[in-house]
Amino acid sequence: MDVNITKALNDKLYDKRKSGALELEGLIRDSLAAQDHDRIQKIVHQLCHDYAYAVHQPHARNGGLIGLAAASIALGPEVARYLEEIVPPVLACFSDQDARVRYYACESMYNIAKVAKGEILVYFNQVFDALCKLTADSELSVKNGAELLDRLIKDIVAESAASYVSILRTPQGESGDGVSDGQEHAHEEMAFSLERFLPLLEERINVLNPFTRTFLVAWITVLDSIPDLELVTQLPRFLAGLFKFLSDTNQDVRTATHSVLERFLSEIKKIARIKRGVAESRKSQAEDGTKRSSSSVRSGADGESDVNSAALDQRESLEEKDTGSVVSGSTVADDEKSGSGEDDWIPGQDIQVDSGKILDILVTFLKDPNEEEQIQLAALRWIDSFFEICPEDIMPFVPKLLSDVLPLMSHDVDPVRLAANRVNTSLMDYIMSLSEDIRRPDNALQLPNSLSALGKDLTNVERRDSNLSNRLLKTVIKDQAADVRSGESKGTRTPTPAEERGPSPRPVPELDYQLAVSALTLQFLNEHEATRVAAIAWLIMLHRMAPGKILSVEDGTFPALLKTLSDPSEAVVTRDLLLLSQISRNSDDSYFTSFMVNLLKLFCTDRRLLETRGNLIIRQLCVTLSAERIYRTMADCLEKDDDVEFASIMVQNLNNNLITAPELADLRRRLRNLDSRDGQSFFVSLFKSWCHNAVATFSLCLLAQAYEQAYHLLQIFADLEMTVNMLIQIDKLVQLLESPVFTYLRIQLLEPEKYPHLYKCLYGLLMLLPQSSAFAALKNRLNSVSAIGYLHIAPRTYVPSSNFNHLRQKSSETGSSSSQQGPAVSSFERPNRLKAREDGGVKWVELLEKFKTTQEKARRSQRLANLGDNLGASPMQDREKPPPEVPPKGPGLRPSSQASTSRPLPLAAQQAQGHKSKSSLGNLGRFAGGVAGRRKK
């Protein structure tokens, strides 16, 4: 360079440097016109090494930058051969400590890129990396300069990135190799390469600066707007980092990120529709035996024309500028591979989106409970959209989705909760659509074909807690389905994803039932009710689809279901019972027996569950399963149970449900029919187990209208220890006698000659009760028919019964003083009601003996328990009171006559003193206090 130019470029004033740059521009033009490339090369070398690289001379660096820009402008198109030496020093100045140097570097690169145009794309990664840093620069002027340069580079990329081939990298002698070889080689030597750029994007996508994030989102939008680049195929490489932008504190970053994510999702949906349309078109043409042609694509079936219009709409939405022809070499190659003509190709049909990797990324954002709400919401919306795009790709992720989506159904934020419910609904709808077995009619409970229909049922069915049978449909699937449907627009029903997507072009992989069941079982530990309810609803559906693949007794799911019966939520318990009933209904007798045994063990170990949920569990099981089968199986198990205390409590619960539950009305009618062999067998089965509880046995005889047997039980009651608990049970029984269940019994009081022992039974109860409200109620009831009751005392013609003579003989042998007077039976319509039939009849005497034996066993067990409590008392208590009286040793451990006769004394004392109370429980409490005082004395 001339001396005056070098002096001007080193000046500290910008105007003198600019004038020197203008003189340099003229010098370069003259040298270029004279084809003096050597001098031009020397000038460029001098500008780079003597000026631009002068680190400690800021004015010289500024002069070198403006000089390189002037030289590039002067060279024009010829600048391409010098870019390899011009660009590196300018890029080095981007990181200078002086803000003015950084600004002039932006200005210089702007002029260079404006002249080089597509050739600058060879250095796109370096320029992009520099701009990525400058967008977060602390100096406003530098940020403004970087923004101008960024706009220019974006324009160049949008115009030339998909098709520009570098002049310097084009090999010589290209002709003669064939058209296809030349195109492949040109594709390899493209100035811009997405494969070279993506590693840099993957590295920069993890930045935290909001300005840099905005810069990256803008560039991703630009690259995605270029159809031939097909950035969507590389989406999994930067999607995770892009989703994290949604948690940025800057609102502009979140808005821009939402926009670009919606753009990608819309593009994926269009590609899926195009592929589905092409697959259906090819399938229909294959069935018709015709070949596809360009005319059939444009004027064929309506579905094919829709595919073309969808493809054109996609192209118009993706293009921001007129980029000319979009058919590239890769498209031609793909057409040659597919064997179709050039007009047969539809934009988007050859784009491959890796849905599996995208879903894997989306699921990871659901796994972390501390993830930002906006990220989880966006991930849920994407997953829900994939049921329309590629539902077959979701199948491998079903266990993960169950583990991650179900907890979000109880999220505190309403949008996240509703989105999770929507994903759960879509997933369940898709799984249900794969099984044809669900749609077959069945006598048992049946799942609806679609969750949309189920949601309508859930919202229209009224909740009535008193009638469990009307709530069965609601126990099949979660209540949250109603919330999801209520948030949607009313009117015409929205088609389900399964109805919208149509036939799947690919085979659907099989669901891993074991992993799915394991994921659902873990949700039983979730603290939120909605999640637990949804988990059990899933298990119900999966068991209906494949009963043999899941929920066997040997695995850990069955114990978990039994443990779930202790759940504090009634909705969870109800659905759990429905699932257990479904399993038992589809299994053999051994499985059902195992279920009943395990249920009784659970009641035995968890007495609180028996008290709070025992009746609900029993009633719900009787609705979904055979009530007689349940009662028979439990009765057989309780008869053999050694824990007499638990057996008595359990029999009491079963008996209360048998009397009061509306679901067991058929069972009560069956018990009253003792003339049939089935009724006799059922009564005997219950009686043997009911012997653990005296009052329950008596009420069973009343239900079965075996009044004579009930009367003989009352005679045995005289030998039993009348405890407070027993009196309370008798009090409750008297109250139940006034209920609609025993209407037939009260009506039978009008026929004393037909039911003589019914009067004796009720008067016997009256004699057992203390002076209480129950005593008064029963007394009033009997007094209302007392006049009729005296009629059966008049002399009548009686027919002796051999069965009662036998009963009298057996009672005398056992030493029962109450049966020595032989009862007479009136000749009513059914004189042989208690007569043992030859074939399968009821052996009443044996049942009485069974009752005596069981009650004696319970008495011995109670005495041993009391003895153990007294022996385990503290030494201080032993000093305060005398040691307990040890019962005499013997095989039966029977109490002495004094002990047995001294128990009712407090009650007699109360009656003698005339203490009466309106509350039966108050009398019973005083009775208990008297008994306790007697024991203490």
For 125-151, b/e burial (b = at least 16 CB within 10 A) is: bebbebbbbbbbbeeeebbebbeebbe
**pLDDT for the residue numbered 250:** 92
Three-state secondary structure call for residue 798: strand
Q: At CA 363, angle to CA 361 and CA 369, rounded to 5?
A: 120
**pLDDT for the residue numbered 213:** 95
Mean pLDDT over 672-691 rounds to 87
Q: What's the length of the chain?
A: 937
323 DSSP 8-state letter: -
Three-state secondary structure call for residue 281: helix
The residues near 614 (Cβ < 8 Å, ≥ 6 apart) are: 603, 653
Mean pLDDT over 678-696 rounds to 90
pLDDT tens digits, 822-846: 333 333 334 444 444 334 467 888 8
Asked if residues 415 and 377 have their Cβ atoms less than 8 Å apart, the reply is: yes
The H or E element containing residue 427 is helix 414-434
Hey, how many other C-beta atoms are within 10 angstroms of the C-beta on 896? 11
pLDDT tens digits, 586-599: 777 788 888 899 89
pLDDT band at 172 (very low <50, low <70, confident <90, very high): very low
**pLDDT for the residue numbered 934:** 40
**pLDDT for the residue numbered 5:** 83
Asked if residues 159 and 321 have their Cβ atoms less than 8 Å apart, the reply is: yes
Burial of 490 (0-12, 13-18, 19+ CB in 10 A): exposed
Q: Which residue has the higher pLDDT, 750 or 858?
A: 750
**pLDDT for the residue numbered 555:** 64
**pLDDT for the residue numbered 458:** 33
**pLDDT for the residue numbered 658:** 92
Q: Pick from 168-177, 390-399, 913-922 the range whose average pLDDT is largest.
A: 390-399
Asked if residues 749 and 759 have their Cβ atoms less than 8 Å apart, the reply is: yes
Question: Percent of the chain beyond pLDDT 70?
Answer: 69
- Weakest-pLDDT range from 137-141, 147-151, 372-376, 787-791: 787-791
Mean pLDDT over 94-102 rounds to 89
pLDDT tens digits, 99-123: 999 999 999 999 999 999 999 999 9
Give the C-alpha distances (Å, rounded to integers) separating 254 from 257, 289, 379, 490, 516: 5, 52, 14, 31, 35
Asked if residues 226 and 161 have their Cβ atoms less than 8 Å apart, the reply is: yes
Question: Percent of the chain beyond pLDDT 90?
Answer: 29
Asked if residues 409 and 403 have their Cβ atoms less than 8 Å apart, the reply is: no
pLDDT tens digits, 808-817: 444 444 333 3
pLDDT band at 347 (very low <50, low <70, confident <90, very high): low
Asked if residues 481 and 435 have their Cβ atoms less than 8 Å apart, the reply is: no
pLDDT band at 447 (very low <50, low <70, confident <90, very high): very low
Mean pLDDT over 700-708 rounds to 91
Tell me the C-alpha distance between 8 and 758, whole Å.
Answer: 130
pLDDT tens digits, 603-639: 999 888 888 888 889 998 898 888 999 999 999 999 8
Chain centroid to CA 259: how far? 30
**pLDDT for the residue numbered 144:** 93
pLDDT tens digits, 200-228: 999 999 999 999 999 999 999 999 999 88
- Weakest-pLDDT range from 430-439, 736-745, 797-806, 859-868: 797-806
In the chain, helix, strand, coil percent, each to 5? 70, 0, 30
Three-state secondary structure call for residue 568: coil
pLDDT tens digits, 471-507: 333 444 344 344 434 444 444 444 444 444 454 555 6
- Weakest-pLDDT range from 297-301, 411-415, 696-700: 297-301
pLDDT band at 553 (very low <50, low <70, confident <90, very high): low
Tell me the C-alpha distance between 417 and 91, whole Å.
Answer: 49
Tell me the C-alpha distance between 717 and 711, whole Å.
Answer: 10
User: Token pair for residue 406?
Assistant: 């179900």
Tell me the C-alpha distance between 46 and 52, whole Å.
Answer: 9
CA nearest neighbour of 466 among 619, 654, 630 = 619
Place of tokens 């638990």: 646
- Weakest-pLDDT range from 153-167, 342-356, 647-661, 761-775: 342-356
CA nearest neighbour of 449 among 594, 457, 258 = 457
Three-state secondary structure call for residue 273: helix
Three-state secondary structure call for residue 36: coil
pLDDT tens digits, 353-378: 899 999 999 999 998 777 789 999 99
The residues near 621 (Cβ < 8 Å, ≥ 6 apart) are: 577, 580, 581, 630
Asked if residues 562 and 597 have their Cβ atoms less than 8 Å apart, the reply is: no
**pLDDT for the residue numbered 112:** 93
CA nearest neighbour of 518 among 423, 399, 383, 619 = 399
pLDDT tens digits, 288-338: 664 444 444 444 444 444 444 444 444 444 444 333 333 333 333 344 334
pLDDT tens digits, 18-58: 888 898 888 888 888 888 888 888 988 888 888 888 877 87
Asked whether residue 67 carries a pLDDT value surpassing 70, the answer given is yes
What is the DSSP annotation of 91-129?
A: HHHTT-SSHHHHHHHHHHHHHHHHHHGGGGGGGHHHHHH
**pLDDT for the residue numbered 188:** 52
What is the DSSP annotation of 714-765?
A: HHHHTTS---HHHHHHHHHHHHHHTSGGGHHHHHHTT-TTT-HHHHHHHHHH
pLDDT tens digits, 225-278: 998 889 999 999 999 999 999 999 999 999 999 999 999 999 999 998 888 888
pTM across the whole model: 0.69
pLDDT band at 180 (very low <50, low <70, confident <90, very high): very low
What is the DSSP annotation of 210-222?
A: HHHHHHHHHHHHH
The residues near 229 (Cβ < 8 Å, ≥ 6 apart) are: 161, 162, 194, 223
Torsion over CA: 292, 293, 294, 299 (sign) = negative
